[in-house]
């Protein structure tokens, strides 16, 4: 609504390119930096600890506000989660990180209850902004979340992580069987998504039309790029499908893709 001008930085499986980010920060004076450091949507990327520390150093040097969207943090497949940028900023005594997260990814998708941790002045402004949008998050939803997290929440998280890990492995196995060699895709360490790159010049939108004919769908990657690009990218999600349906879906997607490649 305020007509912002977006500055974008390429991101991969280890988060944003910090060299290009530093150049962008020096060349411009952005109002704030928004990022998803853990299992980014749509790429599934995970910033290593050293990259998080370096990004925070860059932010502190310029007094830059960082908005950390951490909705997928608990969905890790390894032995431990990484510290958030907010936690690192607290250790460094820097008040410039605004922490966002949600219960919808770890309790139930229909419970759209999120939360923010930030400096009190930021909370005040965010409260005023929210009141201008929807006045208040439904109390019933908040009560449900409160009751659900009171008992057995750590055990639930462990179960969710195990389920998603198995789903991710099943999708990667299916992709390994069905995808042509020209296709690249990520191997997520957590979260809900696999990010795929088609050969240059091949349109994910065209593939989508072919895939629909096979009764399977995905999210084309183009809309995720704030300033355009990404026409040959797409996002797959393993969050809701069981193994059999996932394998069949990947088989159909592979058939559609091979058909499209044969036409090129």
CA–CA separation, 218 vs 20, rounded Å?
30
Tell me, what's the pLDDT at 248?
97
CA–CA separation, 76 vs 225, rounded Å?
25
Tell me, what's the pLDDT at 51?
97
CA–CA separation, 142 vs 120, rounded Å?
21
Strands 65-69 and 32-35: parallel
Tell me, what's the pLDDT at 218?
97
Report how far apart, in Å, the C-alpha atoms of 185 and of each of 182, 188, 195, 258, 263 are.
10, 9, 6, 16, 22
Q: Are 202 and 222 in contact (CB under 8 A)?
A: no
Tell me, what's the pLDDT at 229?
93
CA–CA separation, 129 vs 145, rounded Å?
23
As separate numbers, helices (DSSP H) first and strands (DSSP E) second, the chain gives 8, 10
Tell me, what's the pLDDT at 135?
84
Structure tokens at 88: 């690192």
Query: At 179, phi and psi to the nearest 5?
Result: -85, 140
| Multiple choice CATH, 11-150, 1.10.1660.10, 3.40.640.10, 2.30.40.10, 3.20.20.70 | 3.40.640.10
Strand (E) positions, the chain?
11-12, 15-16, 32-35, 65-69, 97-102, 114-117, 184-185, 193-197, 219-220, 233-237
Q: Where are the domains of the chain?
A: 11-150, 154-263
Matching residue, tokens 């999120």 = 114
Does the domain formed by 154-263 have CATH 3.90.550.10?
A: no
Q: Are 173 and 201 in contact (CB under 8 A)?
A: no
Tell me, what's the pLDDT at 256?
96
pLDDT 10s per residue in the chain (264 long)?
788 899 999 998 999 999 999 999 988 889 999 999 999 999 999 999 999 999 999 999 999 999 999 999 999 998 788 999 999 999 999 999 999 999 999 998 888 999 999 999 999 999 999 998 888 889 999 999 999 999 889 999 999 999 999 999 999 999 999 999 999 999 999 999 999 999 998 999 999 999 999 999 999 999 999 999 999 999 999 999 999 999 999 999 999 999 999 887
Matching residue, tokens 């499908």 = 241
Other Cβ atoms less than 10 A from the Cβ of 10: the count is 10
CA–CA separation, 6 vs 98, rounded Å?
19
């Amino acid at each position: 609504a305020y007509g912002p001008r977006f500055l974008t930085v390429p991101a991969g499986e280890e988060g944003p390119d910090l060299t290009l980010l530093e150049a962008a920060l020096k060349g411009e004076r952005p109002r704030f930096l928004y990022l998803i450091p853990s299992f980014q949507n749509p790429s599934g990327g995970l910033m290593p600890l050293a990259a998080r520390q370096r990004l925070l150093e860059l932010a502190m040097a310029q007094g830059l506000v960082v908005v950390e969207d951490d909705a997928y943090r608990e969905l890790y497949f390894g032995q431990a989660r990484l510290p958030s940028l907010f936690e690192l900023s607290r250790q460094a005594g820097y008040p410039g990180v605004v922490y966002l997260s949600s219960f919808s990814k770890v309790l139930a998708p229909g419970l759209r209850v999120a939360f923010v941790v930030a400096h009190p002045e930021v909370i005040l402004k965010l409260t005023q902004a929210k009141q201008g949008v929807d006045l208040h998050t439904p109390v019933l939803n908040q009560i449900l979340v409160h009751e659900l997290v009171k008992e057995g929440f750590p055990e639930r998280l462990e179960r969710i992580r195990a389920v998603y890990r198995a789903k991710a492995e099943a999708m990667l196995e299916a992709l390994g069987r069905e995808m042509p060699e020209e296709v690249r895709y990520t191997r997520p360490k957590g979260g809900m998504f696999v990010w795929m790159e088609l050969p240059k010049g091949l349109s994910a939108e065209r593939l989508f039309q072919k895939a629909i004919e096979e009764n399977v769908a995905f999210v084309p990657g183009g809309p995720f790029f704030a300033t355009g690009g990404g026409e040959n990218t797409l996002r797959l999600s393993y969050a809701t499908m069981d193994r059999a349906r996932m394998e069949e879906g990947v088989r159909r997607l592979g058939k559609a893709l091979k058909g499209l490649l044969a036409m090129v």
